[in-house]
Structure 1
Amino acid sequence: MPEDSADADTSTALPDGGLSKGEIFDVLRNQRRRYVLQYLKRKGEPVELGDLATRVASWEYRTPCEEVSSEQRKRVYTTLQQTHLPRMAEAQIIDYDSDSGLIEPTARTQDLSIYLEIVPGSELPWREYYLSLGAVSTALCAAIWGGVYPFTLLPDVAWATLIALTLTVSASVHIYYERNMRLGDLEVPSELDFE
């Protein structure tokens, strides 16, 4: 029996040797692994396992790094060392030298950003906003073209300028929010709301 094409897409490696969506989501389904990527992206340089464990523990226990207990740190350190970092290194998402305890991002780390971008649940998705903006602009143009009052009070060029400015401001705000909501750009992961 042939595989469902949706299943095939998530289980087959990509032609360029990259990870399939299934592999990506398998690696990223664990919160500690996402925290590792968050920290690596923020630092932008190799990090030591001890520092990483302290930061991840602080996020998990929602406490400042200075207040993480040695037991909390050790618990996180051990699972990172034995489970999570080797799994991420196997997927070539990070380079992990178990002898030195250094972890650094790879080219694939950046490729995962699209899967980790933050989409707050309370916000209108941008695609819906732009669709609505397009619909309103189209209706406005139809009303102007049809000579509907009060849209005839302003010249056509004023309406065209208003539509262009609305689109430009919307795109600028979208870019601003998108840049500020990427993985690693926030001080703490989006799942946390302390500090």
Structure 2
Amino acid sequence: MRESDERETPPLSVAVIIGSTREGRAGERVGHWFTERAGGRTDLELSIIDLIDFDFPAHYPAGTTEQIRDFTERVDRADAFVVITPEYNRSFPASLKQAIDFAYDEWQTKPVAFVSYGHSSSGLYAVEHLRSVFTELQTVTLRNGVAINLMDERWEDKGRAADLMLDQLGWWGLALREARARRPYVSSVS
């Protein structure tokens, strides 16, 4: 891409979703590290969606609440996503699944990258389950991500993996944003 083309392209809107709401969670620390790492980029405009800030209903309501509307509008405005997830019992937390399910069309044709954390598996079981969920929502999930073993004190050294993931997220995000602008996505069979 020519330098003049880069200046004309608005930054990609990336929502960083912190998926854990557990007391004492590491998600906030991981999210802070990640957004600091990505913060210097001019091609991305990051916003944090921390699920701990939402008061979602315990049961799926018949009508949309203000909190659900706020969440789905923020998902809709984003061009791409980075999901920060722990691994709980070899999967991702219920709080994240609940939030994902509140949106549907808002996810479609957008890329999703993962930053996972845990112990020996570094959260990779959670990511594999999330790939299935996001595939059903017709997103593009990135192969490369960041996997952090919380028992390894040097996990902050994962910066190169984060940079590669963000480069790929930027590529997919721009490609899909341009495609959505050119033609509507066919999401179901009539």
Query: Which has more radius of gyration?
Result: 1
Q: TM-score, normalised by structure 1?
A: 0.20
Structure 1 or 2: larger strand share? 2
Structure 1 or 2: larger helix share? 1
